[in-house]
Amino acid sequence: MRRSARWDAEFSEFVAARSTQLYRSAYLLTMSPHSAEDLVQTALAKAYAAWPRVRAADDPVAYVHGIVLKSFLSERRRRSSSELPVAEAPERPGHHHEDADPADRAALMAALARLAPLDRAVVVLRFWEDRSVAQTAVTLDLSEAAVKNRSLRALRALRGLLTDTSPSTNPADPSNWSA
């Protein structure tokens, strides 16, 4: 096999094995299935262009997750997009935990969406992907103290958002959605 054909095959295997995981992380960051798909496509295009460097990394999965995060934060900083967020289902069908209460999940997703992008990225890495403070700091190019501070602030904000939702103001309650 030619060298580029071998790399194409390796990259295809990587995408097949990791695209669902990348999509879940991207969805938690963007809070939109369409934006998450765009973010994953952007990250995979960048990873493909740099595949020799990615495959030589100590952890290619972490490298591509870093691309996802940096692309997300870069897009948020740019804010040049004319797209506006709209209310959407919290997750694609078939990607939910059977024991999870859909109302709790929707409330959590709505609360996550209200966090600042960098705080949301810290929460997703620390508590969804179960990364250490040090790993999160390296991925986001922050100090460990900044990760701890943002984690504390973001969790406090999430607690406030989730405990302040009475039945009449709960964003997950369909009766509160405007027509």
Residues of the chain with CATH 1.10.1740.10: 1-78
pLDDT score, position 94: 46
Residue 92 in 3-state DSSP? coil
pLDDT score, position 128: 86
Residues of the chain with CATH 1.10.10.10: 100-173
Site of tokens 């879940």: 24
pLDDT score, position 93: 46
Residues of the chain with confidence (pLDDT) below 70: 1-3, 77-100, 164-179
Using CB atoms within 10 A of its CB, is residue 46 exposed (0-12), middle (13-18) or buried (19+)?
middle
CATH class of the domain at 1-78:
mainly alpha
Which ranges in the chain belong to alpha helices (H)?
3-30, 33-49, 51-56, 60-78, 102-113, 117-123, 133-140, 144-163
The answer regarding whether domain 100-173 maps to CATH 3.30.230.10 reads no
Site of tokens 């059977």: 98
pLDDT score, position 1: 46
* pTM score, whole prediction: 0.57
118-170 per-position pLDDT tens digit: 999 999 889 888 889 999 998 888 999 999 999 999 999 999 988 865 555 55
